[in-house]
Amino acid sequence: MLKSVHVNKEEVWSSAFLSTLAIGPDDPYPLEDKDYLELLLQEKETLIQLAEKGCTIRFIISPANRNHIRQAGIDYAVMRTERLLNFLKDNHPAHQYIDWSISELGIKNLYIIGHLSVFEGYKKGTHSGYGLTLRHTARQVINAHIEVYHSYFRDLAARTLVKWPPKTTKDLRERDLLRLATIQCLEESLRFLKDLS
């Protein structure tokens, strides 16, 4: 998809805990999972490159809550939250094509990659990565997922802007407002994490 001349007409939808953009090379993955971490870092770079080429990326993210902390620990949640906050606050050109929304209840790990495939990951335990994966390539299945996620994203985006209203809205696009609201949400989440630690 990166090499497609129509990349600026494509969309990628992703739902996950904080998103792949919160991953870093110093993430505390066990030695046997380092290859998996390398793949996640490649995925992160590819998403940023897609956005830089004009592909719309829509993230539905869950901030850290008690469930995430039980699985991975507070320090890991703080690390990933701070990393994503740094990216959101940076004036990166990719922000021009990234939309954000917040799901406080938690969400499944899912990717809709243009009109190519839908990927879902399922946990089998508390280990890193997804022990089970499901990939769909049938056009009807992809379109059905896009339709569902479009409605879901719009609802969550509206809730995000209501719960974390940006302090200024003058001359800002909805995409910018969602980024500011997401920053507020993650700053609130970070305070919660630090109070617990």
The residue ranges of every structural domain in the chain are 7-196
pLDDT the model gives residue 74: 85
pLDDT values of the chain reduced to their tens digit, one per residue, 197 residues = 556 657 888 899 999 889 999 999 998 888 887 888 898 899 999 999 999 999 999 999 999 877 666 666 788 889 999 999 999 999 999 999 999 999 998 787 888 988 888 877 655 555 555 555 678 889 998 999 899 999 999 999 999 999 999 988 788 999 999 999 999 999 999 999 988 87
**Do the Cβ atoms of 111 and 19 come closer than 8 Å?**
no
Q: What is the DSSP secondary structure assignment for residue 134, as one 8-state letter?
A: E
pLDDT at 57: 97
- Work out the angle between the directed axes of helices 174-196 and 139-163 (0-180°, nearest 10): 70
CATH number for the domain whose boundaries are 7-196: 3.30.870
pLDDT at 128: 56
**pLDDT given for residue 63 in this prediction:** 93
Question: Cβ atoms within 10 A of the Cβ of 168, count?
Answer: 10
Cβ–Cβ < 8 Å for 119, 113 = yes
The DSSP element (H or E) to which 121 belongs, if any, is strand 117-122
Distance CA 63, CA 56 (A): 22
Give which of 193, 196, 195 is closest to 77, Cα–Cα.
193
Partners of 60 in beta bridges: 15, 101
